[in-house]
Amino acid sequence: NGTGTAVTGAGTSHDSRTAEGENAQTLTTRQGHPLTNNQNIRTVGNRGAATLENYAFIEKISHFDRERIPERVVHARGAGAHGVFEAYGRVGDEPIAKYTRAKLFQEKGKQTPVFVRFSTVGHGGHSPETLRDPRGFAVKFYTEDGNWDLVGNNLKVFFIRDAMKFPDLIHSQKPDPVTNRQSGERIFDFICNTPEAMHMVSFLFSPWGIPANYRQMQGSGVNTYKWVNAQGDAVLVKYHWEPLQGIKNLTAHEAEAIQAKNFNHATQDLFEHIAKGEFPEWELRVQIMSDDEHPELDFDPLDDTKIWPEDQFPHLPVGKMTLNRNPENYFAEVEQSAFGTGVLVDGLDFSDDKMLQGRTFSYSDTQRYRVGTNYLQLPINAPKKHVATNQRDGQMTYHVDSAPNQNLHINYEPSSLNGLKEAPRSAPDHMPEYKGRLMKQTIDRQNNFKQAGERYRLHEDWERDDLINNMVGALADADRRVSDKMVELCTNCDPDWGRRLAEGLEQARGGKTAEGGNQYNEARGSEAVAEAEAT
Ligand code: HEM
């Protein structure tokens, strides 16, 4: 049943024939041969030598040798669950059809199955879940029109606004290529030269950078998308998930206390709540803006380092998601799941957000490498509806995505010989008009510090204290060129932020250790000891 600890082996695609003397529990090889001896390889005498035709052994060990696939280059550590999305049929007080024709949203009470994967970003597959990091919040909706993936994070903004910078951003946060350790100096070296990251820093180095678990955190699409209605008219939208369990974040000290005993606490928390029937729920809310440049705003609506102010662009509820079933096999369902920002259904569209455009190439590209060419044939990724294509072959082809009466000789289109036909167009396409010069330039309305300063002032006292401590902890050992620049950027956001960071750094360098958040510079203690011994 997947929700309890006892999981049964339902759902395999094999038939249930057994040979004489076998029953359904009989161990076999992957070729179906009954395995009479699973303890010993075949040898000359019981001390060896072994023979090379040990098929059952070689099949078993060579499968084992291939049990790992490349982990995700980012978001490698994750946990997943199945559930359902239920539409409200409205967006706030208005019928949703005014803005989008996407079928999953139209009727009140309409249910769409979903699969969600939560994750941390920077570290490897079994890294502690207590680390300071954005949290991934990726949702796959198996709609009647095919899959829709909403690939978001817990925080509502991002470090950068141009996809060109993503590999550099991630390299600065991954372990140092020489020492193989994450370093505050490298992270802030990139950030102090990337002022648009300050809004993200204002969240990430506060307790918002360590959600207490996956159930009690928000989600956000971060990038700007479009909704398209039956007339082909579009609006800009941003998506937000609000946890009905409330929000809970951790200070660095609280996280360290958990990590000392358990580095899987978020995976455990999600699995156990679902197993107990305490299903976590999130309301999906959207912000809507007309589809233009909005010169009246002091930021660009397509800039993902900005929040759309809630008083001008209210969060309008459109439905609710409930996670109610644990995976039966982590690898098959969670590790091999593949989400991408290009995976949209009719009525949903891309905006010109440059990050979104770059992301959209990256996801399916990495998945063809990470999981394989036919990753969309795996049950977790396959749409739960009719799929018929002319794509064939490639590694691990599992079946042909064909129509029941299709002439299987015809894997091309157009054809007069009973091949597949294009789908009829049910509504006009959204066809935005473009006129402009091709160029490589950053956007005009950068306004890098205003919202970051507002966030600094909106934090509660304990959150601001934690933010300062964590930045001091990460920067105390950094090169002065990096830490001085960070003080300058924080001052640009709010003079109090800059002053407190400068004071904290001075104290820390004067020998007084920062109170918390020193997770990047753990060797600082041993270096200090070595220095003391040397003098
Ligand atoms: C995962 C690229 C920005 C959220 C990934 C993966 C890549 C990638 C290559 C691994 C996918 C896989 O192996 O299946 C990029 C690029 C970005 C970008 C190139 C910017 C240009 C963002 C942003 C967000 C985000 C802004 C948040 C809105 C996620 C999530 C996952 C992910 C949640 C994990 C999905 C899962 O659970 O499988 N990203 N990313 N990414 N990314 Fe991004």
pLDDT tens digits for range 95-125: 999 999 999 999 999 999 999 999 999 999 9
Å from CA of 72 to ligand 1 middle: 9
Angle between helices 480-493 and 495-509 (to 10 degrees): 150
**Within its chain, how far is the Cα of 41 from the centroid?**
43
**C-alpha triplet 388, 389, 390: angle, nearest 5°:** 140
The answer to the question of whether 330 is labelled as a binding residue is: no
pLDDT for residue 518: 52
Q: What ipTM does the predicted assembly reach?
A: 0.97
Q: What is the Cα–Cα distance from 119 to 138, expressed in whole angstroms?
A: 9
Q: Is the pLDDT of residue 453 over 70?
A: yes
Q: pLDDT-based confidence at 535, cuts 50/70/90? A: very low
For 523, other C-beta atoms within 10 Å of its C-beta total: 13
- Please enumerate in sequence order all residues whose Cβ is within 8 A of that of 491, keeping only pairs 6 or more positions apart, or say none: 497, 498, 499
Q: Is the pLDDT of residue 12 over 80?
A: no
Answer whether 516 contacts ligand 1 (Cβ < 6 A): no
Nearest CA to ligand 1 atom 8: 363
Provide the whole-model pTM.
0.92
Nearest CA to ligand 1 atom 25: 152
pLDDT for residue 511: 65
Answer whether 358 contacts ligand 1 (Cβ < 6 A): yes
For 213, other C-beta atoms within 10 Å of its C-beta total: 22
- Main-chain phi, psi angles of 499, to 5 degrees: -65, -45
Answer whether 362 contacts ligand 1 (Cβ < 6 A): yes
Beta strands in 364-447 (DSSP E): none
Mean pLDDT for 259-288 is 98
Q: What is the Cα–Cα distance from 232 to 228, expressed in whole angstroms?
A: 6
pLDDT for residue 285: 98
DSSP-derived secondary structure letter, 385 = S
- HSE (CB half, 13 Å, CA atoms) of 348? 24
Q: What is the Cα–Cα distance from 241 to 223, expressed in whole angstroms?
A: 14
Answer whether 147 contacts ligand 1 (Cβ < 6 A): no
Answer whether 158 contacts ligand 1 (Cβ < 6 A): yes
Tell which wins on pLDDT, 229 or 406. 229
Beta partners for residue 514, in sequence order: none
Answer whether 241 contacts ligand 1 (Cβ < 6 A): no
Q: Give the residue, out of 68, 151, 160, with the most ligand 1 atoms within 8 A of its beta carbon, to mutate for a pocket test.
A: 151
Answer whether 156 contacts ligand 1 (Cβ < 6 A): no
Place of tokens 């669950």: 81
Which residue type, as a one-letter code, is found at position 371?
Answer: V
Å from CA of 366 to ligand 1 middle: 10
Nearest CA to ligand 1 atom 3: 359
Are 75 and 96 a contacting pair, CB within 8 Å? no
Q: What is the Cα–Cα distance from 466 to 452, expressed in whole angstroms?
A: 16
Q: What is the Cα–Cα distance from 149 to 440, expressed in whole angstroms?
A: 29
Q: pLDDT-based confidence at 534, cuts 50/70/90? A: very low
Å from CA of 145 to ligand 1 middle: 24
Mean pLDDT for 244-268 is 97
Å from CA of 138 to ligand 1 middle: 9
CB-count burial class (<10 Å; 0-12, 13-18, 19+) for 286: buried
Mean pLDDT for 171-191 is 97
- Main-chain phi, psi angles of 444, to 5 degrees: -75, -50
Q: What is the Cα–Cα distance from 471 to 483, expressed in whole angstroms?
A: 10
Nearest CA to ligand 1 atom 26: 158
Ligand 1 atom closest to Cα of 165? 21
Of 57-66, 71-80, 259-268, 440-449, minimum mean pLDDT range: 57-66
Alpha-carbon separation of residue 94 from 81, 90, 99, 266, 317 (angstroms) = 31, 6, 9, 37, 11
- Please enumerate in sequence order all residues whose Cβ is within 8 A of that of 289, keeping only pairs 6 or more positions apart, or say none: 235, 236, 237, 301, 308, 313
Å from CA of 58 to ligand 1 middle: 37
Nearest CA to ligand 1 atom 24: 152
Å from CA of 513 to ligand 1 middle: 35
Q: Is the pLDDT of residue 533 over 80?
A: no
Q: What is the Cα–Cα distance from 264 to 256, expressed in whole angstroms?
A: 13
Of 192-196, 336-340, 389-393, minimum mean pLDDT range: 389-393
Torsion angle, alpha carbons of 316, 322, 326, 328, to 10:
-90
Ligand 1 atom closest to Cα of 152? 28
Q: Give the residue, out of 74, 223, 350, 367, with the most ligand 1 atoms within 8 A of its beta carbon, to mutate for a pocket test.
A: 74
Answer whether 314 contacts ligand 1 (Cβ < 6 A): no
Are 226 and 348 a contacting pair, CB within 8 Å? yes
Residue spans of alpha helices (H) in 112-173 = 166-173
Q: Which two tokens stand for residue 90?
A: 């409205």
pLDDT for residue 3: 40
Answer whether 238 contacts ligand 1 (Cβ < 6 A): no
Q: What is the Cα–Cα distance from 241 to 221, expressed in whole angstroms?
A: 9
Of 176-180, 192-196, 471-475, 509-513, minimum mean pLDDT range: 509-513
Answer whether 207 contacts ligand 1 (Cβ < 6 A): no
Å from CA of 357 to ligand 1 middle: 12
| Furthest-apart CA atoms within the chain: distance in Å | 88
pLDDT for residue 527: 45
